[in-house]
Structure 1
Amino acid sequence: MPFTEIADRVWVAHYEFIDLNIGLVGGSRGLAVVDTYASGPLARDVIDDIRALGAGEVVAVVNTHEHFDHTFGNGTFRQEYGGTLPIHATEEAAARTVTSGEQWKQKSEADGYDDPRLPDIRATEVVPADHTFSSAAVLDLGDRAVELVHPGRGHTGGDLVVRVPDADVLLAGDLVEQSGPPAYGADSYPLDWPLTLDLVAQLMSPATVVVPGHGAVVDREFVFDQRADIGVVAETIRDLATRGVSVADALAAAEWPFPRERLADAVRRGYEQLPRSQKRLPLI
């Protein structure tokens, strides 16, 4: 059974492709699905696994952010559970879902990605969330209230976390990753990310079970450790820029907590986000 119950009526399924986690939260009204996977056929597999679990019908979808691997199943869930099935996300994520998805399709072709699932991914109609919020919202599942919180910018500008207070579970999306280093992309906010995780930490207790966007379930200490490393990235970028090291030379000019090849966008984005007063002319 792909879905494993990690707390009272909270399940997680880990899928091999992209090491993605799909969350499922149950209440007396039905189930809320957290993220919908990367294509119509992949979402159909998730729906089959939900049916096999026999825990109820899906009454809501939550997108933790706009990226294709978390949203491209939205349309398939709508087809299965009705055209009015609510899909929840932050305003920023919903506004960027279609653009982000189409850009990824184009990039996958331009970069020559080779995977048998790609034709289905590229053929997927991108369906954005239609129930949006700016900072926080509550999802009513009957006998259970589920909190949706936008703690700030990090992996993207519209990340949210899903908190299930009575079960002490936090589904963190890609603000936390276990199967690899944090994903700094062209739409990330490396200087904001540490403070965003500080707010996430305030939503956790010492016993909180944390579900990252990718990889194995973790605990609060893992989040603290990853936050520390993300903080090092942010402070290193600030230090280099303040000392006049050019963005082109920055990666080679310092030690980093993550592989250099994963940090090119982090450095570029960080330099872009720094105010002019915190950057000096490049050293000669």
Structure 2
Amino acid sequence: MSRTEDFREVADRVWHARRSWCDVGVVLVGGEAGLVLVDPHGSAAAGRAVVEDVRRLGVGEVTAVVTTHWHVDHTFGTVAVTDAYGAVPVHAHEVAADELAAGADRLKARYATDPGDPHRDDVLATEVVLPTHTFSSATVLDLGDRVLELVHPGRGHTAGDLVVRVPDADVLLAGDLVEESGHPAYGEDCWPLEWPRALDLVIGLLTPQTVVLPGHGAPVGLDFVQEQRAAIGVVAETVRDAAGRGVPVSQALASASWPYPAEALEHAVRRGYEHLPRSQKRLPLL
């Protein structure tokens, strides 16, 4: 009997699994040189469950890890992979590597303050493995009979987002630049005004047939990404409009209509105001 978390082949030697914790998408890409595991989940325990499922799939050994950004649900499981397969290279954008090094203890501290979180103890017990291989704009992983392209499209969900393109299979792993199981996550480290441009670059990598694997949720296609980009663009332009009209940041959410629930956009508005140049902001109206 298959489980909801099992890997499913969505294209030639590309397997996708939706893990129940946060509906995180974990992806395997296979080639002659082995398997690349992308986003090995959020704790050592969760990562071990991923490794068990990789071994159950029986398609090879993991020879590299890629993390699409630095957040806990995509990176903390890496230690389970290195425990199981040895010191495999761990690839990430250079900024994501710096953010994880600087912020891992802060992430753990947040879990420590929430004794009701069912994953709290697992997260706190996890040894964080930092990326060993970083890049600034783009790089290629050679799997022998195919290559993976790692591309930093710009700042959006975080400053160190990357996407993974599998050209021969027409698959793109979007990380949390695209989310299907909920609205895009605007966190404390988001770049709301630059996110639309990052998605424009991502869209330029897609064809009408591309299978897009989001950071959370089910596979989607070009139309979905274009629709999400449009809504993210509305968020950016609404922030610019409010600031340009002199609306105080504390009143911005109530002053306009938004494509997503206002309670999900607190950080988007605050960060947007912070990132706007002085020339695009009027003094607050009194």
- State the TM-score, normalizing by the size of structure 1: 0.98
TM-superposed deviation, 1:72: 0.2
Residue pairs, 1:100-139, within 5 angstroms = 100-110=103-113, 112=114, 114-139=116-141
| Match of residue 7 from structure 1 | 11
Q: 3-state DSSP class of the match of 1:93? A: helix
TM-superposed deviation, 1:212: 0.3
Residue 98 of structure 1 contacts residue 127 of structure 1 at CA under 8 Å; is this kept in 2? Answer: no
| Match of residue 79 from structure 1 | 83
| Match of residue 45 from structure 2 | 41
| Match of residue 185 from structure 1 | 187
Residue 111 of structure 2 contacts residue 117 of structure 2 at CA under 8 Å; is this kept in 1? Answer: no
Letter in 1 for 2:259: P
Residue pairs, 1:172-211, within 5 angstroms = 172-211=174-213
Coordinate RMSD, CA, aligned: 0.9
- State the TM-score, normalizing by the size of structure 2: 0.97
Question: Deviations for 1:219-272, whole angstroms, at most 9, x for unmatched residues?
Answer: 110000000000000000000000000000000000000001100000000000
Residue 36 of structure 1 contacts residue 73 of structure 1 at CA under 8 Å; is this kept in 2? Answer: yes
| Match of residue 156 from structure 1 | 158
Letter in 1 for 2:39: D
Structure 1: unaligned runs, 5 residues or longer: none
In structure 1, distance between residues paired with 2:72 and 2:115: 15
| Match of residue 231 from structure 1 | 233
TM-superposed deviation, 1:145: 0.5
Letter in 2 for 1:222: F
In structure 2, distance between residues paired with 1:51 and 1:148: 25
| Match of residue 91 from structure 2 | 88
| Match of residue 249 from structure 1 | 251
TM-superposed deviation, 1:113: 5.6
Q: 3-state DSSP class of the match of 1:174? A: strand
Q: 1:220 aligns with which of 222, 225, 249?
A: 222
In structure 2, distance between residues paired with 1:70 and 1:9: 21
Q: For the structure 1 residues 193 and 31, does the alpha-carbon distance in structure 2 shift closer, same or farther, using more than 3 Å as the test?
A: same
Residue 13 of structure 1 contacts residue 21 of structure 1 at CA under 8 Å; is this kept in 2? Answer: yes
Structure 2: unaligned runs, 5 residues or longer: none
In structure 1, distance between residues paired with 2:262 and 2:125: 33
Question: Deviations for 1:167-222, whole angstroms, at most 9, x for unmatched residues?
Answer: 00000000000111101011000000000000000000010000000011111100
TM-superposed deviation, 1:122: 1.3
TM-superposed deviation, 1:101: 2.3
Q: 3-state DSSP class of the match of 1:280? A: coil
Residue 112 of structure 2 contacts residue 120 of structure 2 at CA under 8 Å; is this kept in 1? Answer: no
Q: 3-state DSSP class of the match of 1:137? A: strand
Number of residue pairs aligned between Structure 1 and Structure 2: 282
Residue 111 of structure 2 contacts residue 123 of structure 2 at CA under 8 Å; is this kept in 1? Answer: no
Letter in 1 for 2:97: A
TM-superposed deviation, 1:33: 0.4
| Match of residue 33 from structure 2 | 29
In structure 1, distance between residues paired with 2:108 and 2:251: 31
